[in-house]
Each structure stands twice: as structure tokens, then as C-alpha cells.
Amino acid sequence: GQNIDQPTEMTATEGAIVQINCTYQTSGFNGLFWYQQHAGEAPTFLSYNVLDGLEEKGRFSSFLSRSKGYSYLLLKELQMKDSASYLCAVRDGDYKLSFGAGTTVTVRA
Amino acid sequence: DAMVIQNPRYQVTQFGKPVTLSCSQTLNHNVMYWYQQKSSQAPKLLFHYYDKDFNNEADTPDNFQSRRPNTSFCFLDIRSPGLGDAAMYLCATSIYTGTGWETQYFGPGTRLLVL
């Protein structure tokens, strides 16, 4: 089966940096995705890693180490609107995704 | 704008009363997915269509069925909803481009309440 672990909750202050870790053990690996999900809304795509290293996209960066089965999402210059759940998902075959339970990030003023 | 649309956004049904949720897409993606997501849990894949081919997950209850009459539309039928079926139901789509599979695009979801 697939096992994708991420912390349940994190709290940070506006303007700060938060790092959300994700570890995975899957039967295959064909890319790792991060999604943002605000309460009661659909997940929206943030980033994609298939090779080792860091992908930067504005205030958000994502890192992948395939040998360690590890990824993190880095959120910089936190804003109140960043309060949401962040889902780590692994594509273990051609196109299907397996999701982690999500990390709820609360940004405080 | 091209998008994934789900109707209704909120659905209330009675225990045991059949209910149908709908999803449509203007992206012309060939794969459509249905996920069930309960509070603070990961989205759980119920089934997906690859073009017209239906693919059921092994642990999806028989109570859940799906139809895809054409590329644009996909329906989720819950034949006899139980209290445990109350959840957010997410529809998603994806497509293979020349360089690989794109990310999945999600609709806004339908929140189902079973009374």
C-alpha cells in the first residue's frame, strides 16, 4: 500500500517562514505534488517535483529527495490568506495520485 | 475559462434515498476522477474513467456507481446513502500531453449531508 505522512497542524506568524515536511513510501514514484486546500474548497495545484532538488515559484518552494522518500514545501513571507490545508500527493504510476491527510497551517497576525 | 464544474455545491439527502452528483469539464481531459474526502482526511479515490474505460478502486463500496455519458460529463450515483457517506465529493480531471501527464484539476466539490 501507499504511505504518505505529513504533520497534522502547524502555526506560524504573518511574515514568517514555514516548512511542511512529507515522507512517503509508495510502490512506485512518478512525481510528487503539493496542493493547497482552503476550508470547504477544492485542492489547487501548487508545485510538482519529479527530479531531486528545489523548485521555486514565488513565495512557495518545494524540495524532493527521491532516495530519502522525502519532500518539503516552504512557504515564505506568510500571509493570512496562506492559512489552509496543504496536501502532499505522490503519483506512483501513470496518472493516479495518492494523497497525504494534509497539514493545516494557521497564520497568526 | 476552462474549468471543472460540480453541481450541486451542497446536497442534502435522506438515509437510503438515492442521490446523484454531477461533474462537467470544459478542459477536454480524457481522465476523470471521483474522490471522497472526509473532514481532516486525505482525498480517497473512489474510481476513475480513462476515456470510456471505468476503473474502480478495490475498496470502493458497491453502493457507489459512476457514469460517463460523454467526455465532458461524469456522474456519481450513491444508491443507498448511509450516515457514513456524508463527505465532500471531489471531481478531478487530467490529460496526457506530449511530455507526460499533467497535474489533476479539481472541481469545487459537492458537500453531501445525509439525514
User: Please, what are the averages of pLDDT over each run of 10 residues along chain A (109 residues)?
Assistant: 90 97 92 94 92 95 97 98 97 87 96
Q: Does the pLDDT of residue B98 top 80, yes or no? A: no
- Average of per-residue pLDDT values in chain B: 93
- Residues B64-80 have a mean pLDDT of 96
Question: Which cell numbers hold the place of B87?
Answer: 463527505
pLDDT on residue B53: 94
User: Which residue type is seen at B69?
Assistant: P
What are the CA-CA distances from residue A30 to residues A54, A89, B15, B101 (Å)?
Answer: 17, 11, 40, 10
Contact across the interface for A45 and B103, Cβ inside 8 Å: yes
Residue that wins the pLDDT comparison between B14 and B102: B14
Name the pLDDT band for B25 (thresholds 50, 70, 90): very high
Cβ pairs bridging A and B (under 8 Å)? 47
- Chain A CA closest to residue B100: A94
Per CB-CB distance under 8 Å, the chain B contacts of A100 are: 42
A45 shares contact with chain B (CB less than 8 Å): yes
Burial degree of B99 (CB within 10 A; 0-12, 13-18, 19+)? exposed
A9 shares contact with chain B (CB less than 8 Å): no
